């Protein structure tokens, strides 16, 4: 059968609520999708979109904010050598081989300044702004790109895709994941690693 691993990293005032709810319900909606398991890409997209709607209702029911709070999401599915990843945001999944110690695959961070993300955001009335900060430890200048509703000073989101963050869903920040299909070479002893940007800010995927 299929194994599933999820990594969520919440942000905003109620990010912990959003990430906790998402990691509970997304696997359920995936398993119960009419497309699972024969059309896995559709099943994953379906599960992410239903999870987004679930968050809106659950937030109202439980009294937490889903407008300016959200979460990244990584979902990894495996059945033998057959694997899928689906992700939104800047948490990352990497695949390597113990045998030759090489990076075989990594998901792309959905930063707002990457071309595809920026085009979609700006086409829908969002705005990507650049901020520069001095490194307090004397390192290189830190450059951060954030998403705002055009003409407004909020929300300042650091990613182009997420679950939650309903205030920018009409402005190009989508909950639809990027899906990848991978076939593992089990003879090369693959290893898998998924983590939030709190890890990848300090080490490269090749590490």
Instruction: Name residue 149's beta-bridge partners.
Output: 126
C-alpha span between 82 and 202 (Å, rounded):
30
- Model confidence, pTM: 0.94
CA 59 to chain centre: 20
Beta carbons within 8 Å of 93's beta carbon, 6+ residues apart = 7, 74, 76, 85, 87, 105, 106, 107, 192, 193, 194
Per-residue pLDDT tens listing for the chain (207 residues)? 999 999 999 999 999 999 999 999 999 999 999 999 999 999 999 999 999 999 999 999 999 999 999 999 999 999 999 999 999 999 999 999 988 888 999 999 999 999 999 999 999 999 999 999 887 666 778 899 999 999 999 999 999 999 999 999 999 999 999 999 999 999 999 999 999 998 988 888 887
């Amino acid at each position: 059968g299929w194994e599933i691993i999820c990594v969520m990293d919440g942000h905003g005032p109620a990010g912990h609520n959003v990430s906790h709810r998402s990691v509970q319900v997304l696997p359920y909606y995936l398993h119960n999708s009419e497309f699972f398991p024969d059309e896995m890409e559709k099943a994953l997209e379906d599960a992410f979109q239903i999870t987004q709607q679930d968050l809106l209702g659950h937030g109202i029911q439980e009294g937490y904010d889903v407008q300016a709070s959200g979460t990244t999401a990584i979902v990894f599915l495996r059945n033998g050598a057959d694997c899928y990843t689906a992700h939104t945001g800047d948490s990352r999944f990497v695949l390597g081989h113990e045998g030759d110690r090489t990076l075989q695959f990594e998901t792309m961070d959905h930063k707002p300044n990457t071309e595809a993300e920026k085009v979609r955001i700006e086409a829908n009335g969002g705005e990507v702004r650049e901020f520069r900060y001095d490194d307090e430890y004397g390192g290189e200048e830190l450059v951060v790109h954030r998403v705002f509703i055009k003409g407004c000073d909020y929300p300042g989101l650091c990613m182009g895709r997420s679950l939650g963050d309903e205030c920018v869903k009409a402005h190009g920040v989508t909950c639809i994941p990027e899906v990848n299909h991978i076939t593992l070479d089990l003879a090369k002893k693959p290893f898998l690693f998924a983590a939030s940007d709190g890890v990848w800010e300090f080490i490269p995927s090749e590490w």
